[in-house]
Chain A
Amino acid sequence: MNQKRILIVYRHPPYGESFAREALDVAMAGAAFDQSVALLFLGAGVTVLTANQQSEGIQEKSLEKQFAALPLYDVNELYVDADALRQYRLSNADLSLSVKALDTNAITQLLERSDIVLNF
């Protein structure tokens, strides 16, 4: 099987809908099939990355803990929308994962060098 560059784009916050969880399933499935998987947290999707998510009170499993498994799947290419971080008043220090902040031009380039782009 040819290896494809798969880019998974997070565009929604983590708990209001199931997009974030589904995107993580796809990322892990792609990686398990030896595909090159990268994640981009775009716009409101940057909120998925906030550290210290205490989700017991809304009867949800913490997504933050599930994201910690990504390195085990060799998913190490993690990118975040720098403009959106500013919009949500977040800095890299506020995030649960080590991610690379990209400006709009770099995001465009990332999209253009991907074979498959999946939006969540």
Chain B
Amino acid sequence: MLHTINKAPHVHDCFDACLRVCGTNTAIVLIEDGVYAAIADSAAAQRLCAQNKAIFALQPDIDARGLTNRIDPRIQTIDYSGFVQLCCEHETIQSWY
């Protein structure tokens, strides 16, 4: 299952809700304000990377927010076509917003 999160972790409970219920065979894509969860050394990024799941973040949203060089190296950045590909690879998509 593919999960998308589009809110920052300290602003909204999307992040906590997703991590609470998402299963093991899961990919998480951080989009829009969700990319704030990918900041290197932040508590949110540590929690995400401890999940042993595939974690992605959308590069245009990272760049727009001035976070280009601040992303946790364990989180893979993708462009829009990579996002589309992930959506096609997963049977079910859960949007946390």
Contacts and interface: CB of A to CB of B under 8 A. Distances in A.
Interface of A: 11-16, 43-44, 47, 50-55, 57-58, 60, 64, 87-89, 94, 96
B33 A13 contact: yes
A53 B66 contact: yes
Contacts of B42: 87-89
Interface stretch (B3-11, B18-26, B48-56, B86-94): B3-11
Main secondary structure, interface of A, reads loop
A43 B63 contact: no
Contacts of B65: 13-15, 47, 50, 53
Contacts of A60: 64
Interface in B36-68: 36, 39-43, 59-61, 63-68
Nearest to B66: A50
Q: How large is the interface on B (under 10, 10 to 19, 20 to 34, 35 or more residues)?
A: 20 to 34
B33 A16 contact: yes
B68 A52 contact: yes
Contact of B63 (A13, A54, A64, A89): A54
Contacts of A96: 66
Given A12-B11, A87-B43, 11 more contacts: A13-B8, A13-B65, A14-B65, A16-B8, A43-B11, A44-B8, A44-B36, A54-B68, A58-B61, A88-B42, A89-B39
B39 A15 contact: no
B63 A16 contact: no
Nearest to A53: B66
A89 B41 contact: yes
B70 A89 contact: yes
B94 to A, nearest CB: 19
A58 B60 contact: yes
Contacts of A87: 10, 42-43
A16 B64 contact: no
A87 B39 CA distance: 10
